[in-house]
């Protein structure tokens, strides 16, 4: 009897389904080899499994981005990082019109790219 493909992965002791669909070019090539508090990994895994929004709060360099990238890697899920600061413009996020060789075209911003990857 042929072996069934594993359709889930364990994250923080929680079984989370592998991601189906999405743009393959945005799937991380490697995970993060970091320690993160077990209760927080479990909470993130439950949020992903139940499709619940979450908010990570912490100092710079504490692994917030790394843990999310690791979860995306394990789920084979597209991952796009969007950095915001006081100078981030709507054009960077959504997109803008551009011109080239006498033609006008729409250049997609990072949010549009992320939505299309989903």
Secondary structure (3-state) at 6: coil
pLDDT in tens, 52-90: 998 999 898 999 999 999 999 999 998 888 888 899 999
- Please report, for the chain, the start and end positions of each structural domain, with discontinuous segments joined by +: 7-79, 82-118
Q: Residue 6 above 90 pLDDT?
A: no
Q: What is the pLDDT of residue 3?
A: 54
Secondary structure (3-state) at 69: helix
Tokens 């890697």 found at: 73
pLDDT in tens, 8-61: 999 999 999 998 876 788 889 998 888 889 999 999 999 999 999 989 998 989
| CA 48 to mean position of chain CA atoms | 11
101 with 107: CB under 8 angstroms?
no
């Amino acid at each position: 009897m042929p072996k069934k493909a594993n359709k889930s992965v364990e994250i923080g002791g929680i079984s989370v389904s592998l991601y189906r669909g999405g743009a393959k070019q945005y799937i991380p090539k490697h995970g993060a080899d970091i320690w993160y508090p077990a209760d927080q990994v479990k909470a993130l895994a439950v949020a992903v499994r139940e499709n619940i929004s979450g908010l990570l709060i912490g100092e710079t360099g504490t692994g917030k981005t790394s843990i999310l990238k690791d979860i995306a890697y394990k789920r084979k899920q597209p991952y796009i990082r969007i950095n915001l600061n006081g100078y981030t413009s709507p054009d960077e996020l959504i997109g803008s019109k551009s011109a080239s060789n006498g033609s006008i075209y729409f250049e997609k911003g990072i949010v549009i790219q992320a939505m299309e990857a989903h």
